[in-house]
Amino acid sequence: MESCLPTSGEKYDGHFPFFRQPTKVGEFSLDEKRDFHHNNCQKKYISWPLKRPLDDGQSVDVHFDLNLLLDRAVRKDDSQLDERLDNLLKWILKNQEKFKLQDRKASFNSLSTDFVCYRGLITKLMATPYENREPWIICATKWRGTIYLCAFDTEQKIADRQRETPRQKAMSSWGYKFEQYMMSDSPGAAPDPHTPAVESAEFCCVLRSRLGRHSVVYGAEVDGVDPHREDSDGLSMAQFVELKTSREVETPRQRNSLQRFKMLKWWAQSFLVGIERVVVGFRDDDGTVHRLHAYATKQLPKEQVRNQHQAAAERTGSLVQEASGEKLFAQQLPKQQDFWSPSVCMNFAAAFLAWAAEQVTDDDPRAVWRFEFEPRRRRVTCQSLGRTERYRILPDWYTENVFR
Ligand code: A3P
Ligand code: MG
Ligand code: MG
């Protein structure tokens, strides 16, 4: 019988689950050709427009033209979109001693971790109880007691990418151009947006944590180090800042989209790796950023309540004003439900890991299980695919060289 996991939010309400503060255990870089480097050569530093960090909740006016040299940006090409876990596996191969248990007599034949994946996959899980549009596919392979999880593009996503309009392409490049305006290669150096942005290069941290009953090792692409918070051993994740772009809010609909979907993803992505600050470049529809705003990651879940009241006050206020010339204040509005809850997000992610661990029974490096999320049916289904190349996660070069 096919097994499934429900995704409705109300099933996952309750206490926040156990989540161990993630510790950074390593780093690697991918150059513009997506070649792996076992170092921090792609690490970038935040360059603050005021020459000092923005405080949490503070805004500053800027003028960044995100269309500058956009036609010459170095984009990821199609062959680089199907890297699966390869770069993370390369890092594991080079860092096997970090997985050996203290007891040196014990033979080394396991990573002693329950799951290996990328952070983006856990972010996807966390957003699932609130996702009503985008389906996802996650595949799993168990080998020597560790389950390797990897997200795959759905057929819909592959088709959407092929149909992408020039405008959509430009908009997905704006985020990288913004990063270029905000970061440089060394602390204190000025950014150089007058060169084409290299979208294919990245700097990744590898983290170790525990969610619910399961230990997880995950890779995460990170944006830049705040030079004012850089630590000497490079191990603190609080030194990193997450950069985002978003449409400046002018209508209740835009506010709704920011609060309901974007902030949830920003919070999940940053919280999972211990990044404490998200800096957002608010842009117009033509791709000019006019304002930066700093959010404390822990404040993001609270923004939704404050801004919902504000939005409702604006909405109702204007209606009442039209009708009677009176103004309705936010305090008079009924208490509203939050759009999303951090506990629901984390409880669902923990429940998925526990359920996946039950489903993936065979310990075989070639066998794959496929988990599919169907937003309309509000559930995840699981299917054993047996040995398949289409969704293969562990290459021979990994299984033949690890545990040596
Ligand atoms: P924005 O998120 O500011 O739009 P990240 O913020 O995760 O470091 O990603 C950097 C940028 O990569 C994004 O900036 C966006 O431009 C692009 N990007 C990331 N994920 C994407 C996706 N699923 N589709 C299109 N573009 C994406
Ligand atoms: Mg990034
Ligand atoms: Mg970013």
Tell me the pLDDT tens digit for each residue of 17-28.
999 999 999 999
For residue 264, the model assigns a pLDDT of 97
Q: Is the pLDDT of residue 334 over 50?
A: no
The whole-number pLDDT of residue 284 equals: 98
| Terminal Cα distance for the chain, rounded | 39
Q: How far is it, in rounded angstroms, from Cα 379 to Cα 370?
A: 14
pLDDT of 226 higher than 90: yes
Q: Is the alpha carbon torsion for 296, 301, 306, 308 positive or negative?
A: positive
Q: In this structure, which ligand is nearest to the CA of 173?
A: 1
Structure tokens that stand for 44 in this block: 């970038």
Res 269 pLDDT > 80: yes
97 Cα: distance to centroid of ligand 2 (angstroms): 28
Atom of ligand 1 nearest to the CA of 281: 3
Q: Model confidence at 332, in pLDDT bands (50, 70, 90)?
A: very low
Choose among 24, 27, 152: nearest CA to 88: 27
Question: Of 105 and 154, which is predicted with more confidence?
Answer: 154
111: closest CA among 87, 125, 91? 91
Name which of 363, 395, 368, 387 is nearest 109 in CA terms.
363
**What is the predicted pLDDT for the residue at 209?**
98
Q: Which of 152, 161, 172 to mutate to test the pocket of ligand 1 (most atoms within 8 A of CB)?
A: 172
**Residue 304's pLDDT band (cuts 50, 70, 90):** confident
* 120 alpha carbon, closest ligand: 1
pLDDT number for residue 80: 83
**Which atom belonging to ligand 1 lies closest to the Cα atom of 120?**
7
pLDDT at 329 over 90: no
Ligand nearest to the CA of 278: 3
Ligand 1 atom nearest to 269, measured from its CA? 7
Q: How far is the CA of 66 from the centre of ligand 3 (A)?
A: 15
Which pLDDT does position 347 carry in this prediction? 98
The closest ligand to the CA of 175 turns out to be: 1
ipTM > 0.90 for the complex: yes
Residue in 244, 246, 289 to alter for ligand 1 test, most ligand atoms within 8 A of Cβ: 244
What does the pLDDT look like over 136-170, one tens digit per residue?
Answer: 999 999 999 999 999 999 999 999 999 999 999 99
Q: Which pLDDT value is given to residue 314?
A: 60
Residue 63 Cα to ligand 3 middle (Å): 19
Give tens-digit pLDDT for 246-265. Answer: 999 999 999 999 999 999 99
Give yes or no for a contact between 369 and 139, defined as CB atoms under 8 angstroms apart.
yes
Ligand that lies nearest to the alpha carbon of residue 269, given by its number in the listed order: 1
pLDDT-derived band at 316 (thresholds 50, 70, 90) equals low
**For residues 257-277, average pLDDT:** 97
- Tokens linked to 157: 């996503």
Calculate ∠ Cα 358-359-360, nearest 5°.
Answer: 100
| pLDDT band (50, 70, 90) for residue 327 | very low
Tell me the best of 156, 176, 183, 283 to mutate to test the pocket of ligand 1, counting ligand atoms within 8 Å of each CB and taking the most.
Answer: 176
Minimum-distance ligand 1 atom for the alpha carbon of 221: 8
Give me the DSSP letters along 286-353: TSEEEEEEEEEGGGHHHHHHHHHHHHHHHHHHHHHHHHHS----GGGSPP---S--HHHHHHHHHHHH
How many Å apart are CA 220 and CA 346, to the nearest integer? 18
Model confidence at 101, pLDDT cuts 50, 70, 90, reads: confident
Q: Let me know how long the chain is.
A: 404
Around ligand 1, the residues with Cβ closer than 6 Å are: 172, 174-176, 178, 223, 244-245
Indicate which residue's Cα is closest to atom 16 of ligand 1: 175
Q: Which residue has the tokens 């809850």?
A: 341
Residue located nearest, by CA, to atom 9 of ligand 1: 175
Q: What is the pLDDT of residue 267?
A: 98
172 CA to middle of ligand 1, Å?
6
Nearest CA to ligand 1 atom 15: 175
Is the Cβ–Cβ distance between 228 and 52 less than 8 Å?
yes
How far does the centroid of ligand 1 lie from the alpha carbon of residue 123, in Å?
A: 13
Q: Over pLDDT 70: what percentage of the chain? A: 91
The pLDDT of residue 192: 97
- Closest residue by Cα to atom 8, ligand 1, is 223
pLDDT range class, residue 336, cuts 50, 70, 90? low
> Distance, CA 387 to ligand 3 centroid (Å)?
36
Task: Please state, in angstroms and rounded to a whole number, the distance separating the CA atoms of residues 269 and 205.
Answer: 13
- Report the pLDDT averaged over residues 311-320: 54
Tell me the pLDDT tens digit for each residue of 43-83.
Answer: 999 999 999 999 999 999 999 999 999 999 999 988 888 99
Q: What is the mean pLDDT of the chain?
A: 92
For residue 404, what pLDDT is reported? 81
The tens digit of pLDDT for each residue in 285-301 reads: 999 999 999 999 999 99
